[in-house]
Copies of this chain bind each other. A is one copy, B any other.
């Protein structure tokens, strides 16, 4: 910047002001400075800016890429969410620092902020880290979480209407008079799972009190793990005890359910009705196309960013739920 100042025959502050389009600078001076800067490929040093200002205009986004080490891609849902968060941040001229989750201690994240690496954090997925997040909430760390919205939560979350989503599924199975329903998904420790399962049971039993509702717990959200769990479950049953309705906690799990049913010669939806969650792109492509619950990631992304920005302005944003919508297809 010094060089540019010399070349333009002005002082450093004037160059700075010109580049930031300050009204304090003559149009001519401004034009001159801009021209020279452009010609010399000069760009303001962001690190110096960040050092001087308190704000870094950078948001750290923590995304779980793999459902477990060595596995393939996690559910595409997280990626659509990441993409939409990226877009929302870009609209607000915030940089996105992408973090693969490290050792999950709240201190790691406090350090991230303390070192002025980022102004705030967006966690894409609450998963098992609720306890850590509660710790982090005791500090003045600015962060927002995609996950279940709960009553006693000391931090700001943006999440789907999981109970409602489960209810929609339960109601639909009740309508088609299904009597042996099963929920396949994570354990109740995973709050989102618990909410979906409870909404599901409640709505189904309300209209169909004689129905049974099983619960198959998967150890992680991978296709393989879900397939193993589903196969094991069916292996333990007689044909006449087989479920006639399966609610899968994700579309990926639903694909594993399809596979297990196909291998046993069961037809969807005649023998078994299946409903998934998230409305992944491939839910619409497979055959029979999958009925599922859609959550608008675009809206989710905007809200996550919005709430975090609010927090950075010193306000105290509320947790928000986004709607769950049943997308009826062939399954």
Contact = CB atoms under 8 A, between A and B. Distances in A.
A87 B223 CA distance: 22
A56 interface: yes
A116 B46 contact: yes
A281 interface: yes
Contact of A223 (B76, B281, B287): B281
A262 interface: yes
B66 A114 contact: no
Contacts of A262: 287
A46 B117 CA distance: 6
B95 A97 contact: yes
B111 A83 contact: no
A24 interface: no
A28 B282 CA distance: 60
Interface centre among A65, A98, A258 (most CB of B within 10 A): A98
A294 to B, nearest CB: 11
A251 to B, nearest CB: 9
Interface string A15-58: 00000000000000000000000000111111110110000100
Nearest to A50: B47
A100 B90 contact: yes
Given A76-B73, A259-B285, A286-B286, A65 B83 contact: yes
Contact of A79 (B56, B79, B114, B117): B79
Interface string A302-329: 0000000000000000000000000000
A110 interface: yes
A130 interface: no
Contact of A255 (B45, B50, B258, B282): B282
Contacts of A223: 281, 285
B100 A97 contact: no
Interface string A274-290: 00000001100111000
Contacts of A51: 45, 47-48, 51
Contacts of A256: 285
A286 to B, nearest CB: 6
A176 interface: no
A115 interface: yes
B110 A41 contact: yes
A134 interface: no
B100 A98 contact: no
B43 A73 contact: no
A86 interface: yes
Given A97-B95, A286-B286, A287-B287, A87 B115 contact: no
A96 interface: yes
Candidate in A47, A79, A223 with the most chain B CB atoms within 10 angstroms? A47
Interface of A: 41-48, 50-51, 56, 61, 65-66, 72-73, 76, 79-80, 83, 86-87, 90, 95-100, 110-111, 114-117, 223, 252, 255-256, 258-259, 262, 281-282, 285-287
12 contacts: A46-B116, A46-B117, A47-B47, A51-B51, A73-B281, A86-B100, A97-B98, A256-B285, A282-B282, A282-B286, A285-B286, A287-B287
